[in-house]
Amino acid sequence: MSDQFSYPTDREESSADRVGALERLLIEKGVITGETVDKVLAYFESEMTPLNGQKIVVKAWTDPDFAARVVVDTPAALAELDLPEGMAGAEGEHLQAVANAPGVHNLVICTLCSCFPWPVLGLPPYWYKDPVFRARAAREPRTVLTEIGVELSEDTEIKVWDSSGHSRWFVIPERPAGTDGFSEEQLMGLVTTESMMGVALAGQPS
């Protein structure tokens, strides 16, 4: 196994092929139906998406009181927002936010498998499950972040949070400079799934 990690592309395609083959087999054997698959996909396409996370981050960026509450009792703070009703029941009770700040950068991984904050980020990308990423990010997070383009100063503390069935971590990235006066929609456009995982910074205003 190579110690080098990069965002996989061909492996994503082969994984999708395997998932498709498994789906066809389960339907053929009568274990599930095509309707079941469609309902699950629609749920993640319309309810459990990164749009939820973007709303949370922008609220934290624009409301200091909320920003303080969301890292103390995340589920209670999220209950204040206009988010899908299914949030509380779909791993929502396990959500925990951490906030980047000057001199502190947070990185979310899962060393056991691929626990992920579905309600705020949707389904995890394939590379999040990559054993090389999981192992190296825990062992040498600064090196991994540098390799994928996140340049942090040497005096920046990197905190690694290990998601599990009990805690699904996500990151409130720092608000980019030069965004005073931006609308909520403009701010949301700067928040990516990767920035809420800590493998990227929030986008910069053009």
Of residues 6, 14, 113, 183, which has the active-site annotation? 113
- The secondary structure of residue 102, as a DSSP letter, is T
183 is in an annotated binding site: no
Side-chain-side CA neighbours of 33 within 13 Å: the count stands at 3
Flag whether 195 is marked binding.
no
Instruction: Work out the angle at residue 148's Cα, subtended by the Cα atoms of residues 54 and 2, and round it to the nearest 5 degrees.
Output: 130
Check residue 123 and report its DSSP letter: S
Per annotation, catalytic residue among 15, 110, 153, 206: 110
Distance CA 177, CA 181 (A): 11
Angle between helices 10-28 and 34-46 (to 10 degrees): 140
Q: Phi and psi for 61 in degrees, rounded to 5?
A: -70, -30
Q: Which of 2, 114, 163, 164 is catalytic?
A: 114
Q: Residue 45: phi, psi to the nearest 5?
A: -80, -30
Q: Is 115 a known ligand-binding residue?
A: yes
* 114 a catalytic residue: yes
Active-site entry in 6, 115, 153, 163: 115
What does the alpha-carbon distance between residue 178 and residue 75 come to, in Å, rounded to a whole number?
30
Which residues sit in the known binding site?
A: 110, 113-115
Which residues sit in the known binding site for Fe(3+)?
A: 110, 113-115
Give the residue numbers annotated as catalytic, written as ranges: 110, 113-115
